[in-house]
A = this chain, B = another copy of it.
Amino acid sequence: MKVTVEITRRPEIADPQGTTIQRALHDLGHNEVMSVRVDRVIHLEVQDDDPNDVRARVEEMCRQVLANPVLEDFAVEVSE
For residue A35, CB closer than 8 A to chain B, the reply is yes
A71 to B30, CA, bound (A): 24
Which B-chain residue is minimally distant from A31 (CB atoms)?
A: B47
Number of copies: 2
| Residues on B with beta carbons closer than 8 Å to the beta carbon of A46 | 32-34
Given contacts A40-B41, A41-B40, A42-B21, contact A65 B28 (CB under 8 A): yes
> CB of A48 within 8 A of chain B?
yes
Q: Return chain B residues, CB-CB under 8 Å to A44.
A: 33-36
Asked whether, in the complex, the Cβ of B65 is within 8 Å of the Cβ of A48, the reply is: no
Interface residues of A (CB under 8 A from B): 6, 18, 21, 24-25, 28, 30, 32-48, 57, 61, 64-66
